[in-house]
Amino acid sequence: MSLVEPGSSLALGGAVHANRPAAFVRELVRRGTGQLVLHASPGAGWDVDLLIACGLVRKTVVPMVTLGELGLAPSFRLAVETGEIEAAYTDAMSRTAAYLAAAYGHPFHLIGSLEGTNLVDDPELFDVLTDSDGNAHRAARAVSPDLCVLHVEEADEYGNVRHARGRVMDVLAARASRRTVVVADRLVSNRTVRAEPHRTTIPSQYVQVVVECPFGAHPTATGEYQADIEHLRLYAHAAEQRRRGDAAAFGTYLDRYVTGPSDELDYREAIGGEAVEQRLREELRASHD
């Protein structure tokens, strides 16, 4: 956590209800590190909304913050409507282009699909480049967040990453960011990684820190357990009540699941322990049958 200072820019991996770095986000809330600038995969979700609700975010550069089938992200909506945060008006393809530019060490990536929109009017995100014939081209500026934080199913002690699913923008974000922290459900040996090189999705050269944290994406899913929709529904209800002016339910949620537990072991007990973990694993298996 010493890698995250007030005002840091963070790229959070995963997408909507999958592979969100939930354990890392809960610890950020416990520490109260604020004024963050958040980047994420095109479909950000529960983790971004939670950080906003806790007053730790200054700006988002994210195309969408959503709770999926549970509806809008209440805290993001409230913060934008009240001006509590600055939300860049952007889209998925230009964010991909920005990561690509940084990943390849380029200052820009040309993108022509936004011509005719006002998205490209933001000088922090876009520029106009002129070629040798005098033709103007829109370009997304490269983005290099201070820290990329990913949750994955497996990694070895050197930081070689093995996604089972849900990599989405993770690979690009890791390559584009200045540093990358990987939180893994399980650490495997380097010997295992070398025996199956085709399964490595991000090589260790892009990873500075790796931490083992079983079930650390909960309440979102990985390739080993299903998203806990009941828990996400509880959060959505509490956050919506807060948006409507009644913060009691949200305070209860924080006390029980975020600030109350001293660490992730306590958190896993708070959500129901092994019984809940087994249920979510079985739900994932049943969804594949």
pLDDT band at 58 (very low <50, low <70, confident <90, very high): very high
The overall average pLDDT reported for the chain is 94
The model's pLDDT over 238-278, given as tens digits with 9 standing for 90+, comes to: 999 999 999 999 999 999 999 999 999 999 999 999 999 99
Q: Is 90 exceeded by the pLDDT of residue 168?
A: no
Strand partners, 187: 155
Domains and CATH numbers, the chain: 1-104+143-289 (3.40.1080.10), 105-141 (no CATH)
The H-assigned helical ranges of the chain are: 22-31, 46-53, 74-82, 92-103, 170-176, 190-195, 229-243, 248-257, 264-270, 273-288
Report strand pairing: 209-212 vs 9-12. Answer: unpaired
Distance of CA 57 to the CA centre of its chain: 13
The model's pLDDT over 187-220, given as tens digits with 9 standing for 90+, comes to: 999 999 999 999 999 999 999 999 999 999 999 9
The reported pLDDT for the residue numbered 113 is: 82
Q: Whole-angstrom Cα distance, residue 202 to residue 209?
A: 13
Tokens of residue 138, six digits: 């829109």
The reported pLDDT for the residue numbered 275 is: 96
The pTM is what?
0.93
pLDDT band at 279 (very low <50, low <70, confident <90, very high): very high
The alpha carbon dihedral of 253, 259, 265, 266 has a sign of negative
Task: Count the alpha carbons within 13 Å of 113 in the hemisphere toward its beta carbon.
Answer: 9
The reported pLDDT for the residue numbered 1 is: 62
Quick one: average pLDDT of 98-108? Answer: 95
